[in-house]
Amino acid sequence: MVHYRRYRVAGGTYFFTVTLRNRSSNALVQHVDLLRDAFRSVRTERPFTIDAIVILPEHLHTIWTLPEGDADYSGRWRAIKSRFTHELHTTGVSLTRDNRGEYRLWQRRFWEHMIRDERDYAHHIALMHGAITKPSFSAQRVMPSGFNSDRLSFPLVVMPVPVRAA
């Protein structure tokens, strides 16, 4: 079994990229309410702060800050992926299983980077902004304009959607 070396700092701030196996899928934006519920549920059980998040059709970028004394972001991702997959399956979305018996929805790993300082933080925010301003996407608000996302304890998410060719 491969053991991945992850840089873990209790109370740290991290940038993540998490991807679906099928890079042509739009499951994350099509079922964003289920994804939001999975995040909310895990945050209730194992608190962390979502500093920023961008949800694209087949992957997402996010920056989290973990509580002091806690460095277990892997367990949080496992729970979010599991809950989203379970809820997706419960709604009747057909999901196939691999030879391990796992649903073939998510890539097995994720990419993580510990934010080291303000400059690094700003760089990753710019990277996320760049992801939603690519020519193949247009920005669509997940929540209605003027809605105060603080009421949900979840930041306002701007979600790019593919631009259809005219």
Q: Give the confidence band of 72 by pLDDT, cuts at 50, 70, 90.
A: very high
Q: Domain-by-domain residue ranges, the chain? A: 13-140
Report helix, strand or coil for 116.
Answer: coil
pTM here is 0.78
Q: Which residue has the higher pLDDT, 160 or 59?
A: 59
Q: Which two tokens stand for residue 69?
A: 């004394």
Q: What is the pLDDT of residue 1?
A: 55
CA dihedral sign, ordered 19, 66, 132, 129: negative
Q: Are 63 and 115 in contact (CB under 8 A)?
A: yes
d(CA 39, CA 154): 9
pLDDT at 112: 94
d(CA 79, CA 64): 15
Place 68 in a pLDDT band, splitting at 50, 70 and 90: very high
CATH fold of 13-140 reads Alpha-Beta Plaits (3.30.70)
- When mean pLDDT is compared across 41-50, 57-66, 154-163, the lowest value belongs to 154-163
